Amino acid sequence: MVHEYNKLSQSFEEVKAEKESHATKVELVSSSKMQTALSKLSTENDELRIRSQDMLNENQRLADIISSWTKSSTSLQKLQGAMKPSGDKSGLGYGIDESSMTETSTHPNLDRTKLHTMSFVKSCTGVRPDEIKQRLNTQLTTIYRSIKSG
């Protein structure tokens, strides 16, 4: 009986050692699978971080574009608000009311018809700037002399 007990005890120890060895192998395989899964998840996490950063950069770029559009729109609205309506010709010499004009000249009795007969140089293409300057000087001299003699 003692001999059978020793034999069974040894057999039990062998089975126990084999079971532990098998469990260790299963743990290693399981650990290896977990390491592979962890590696895949880590790679996917890095890819998602990069994608998230790209989306944040794109979002910032689009926000900057929208901001510039908003500033442009505001500037355009201010500019349009400061403009005169297309039919408003005030300030251009149209419809001058003689009674509302104030005399600013040192010659208060200046004949107004002389001012109304002034001619202006029309813009034309192909004329050199020095020719335009010479023509303007000639016309201004003529106007000045006619005003001075009158």
* pLDDT tens-digit series, residues 59-76: 999 999 999 999 888 888
pLDDT number for residue 124: 56
* pLDDT above 90: residue 140: no
| Domain segments of the chain as ranges | 1-78, 110-149
Q: Please give the residue that has the higher pLDDT: either 51 or 22.
A: 51
Backbone torsions φ then ψ of 54, nearest 5 degrees: -60, -40
pLDDT number for residue 125: 60
Q: Which of 9-18, 49-58, 109-118 has the highest mean predicted lDDT (pLDDT)?
A: 49-58
Taking the C-alpha atoms of residue 12 and residue 34, their distance in angstroms, rounded to an integer, is 32
pLDDT number for residue 64: 93
* pLDDT above 60: residue 98: no
pTM for this model (two decimals): 0.37
As a whole-number percent, the residues of the chain with pLDDT over 70 amount to 70
Taking the C-alpha atoms of residue 114 and residue 144, their distance in angstroms, rounded to an integer, is 10
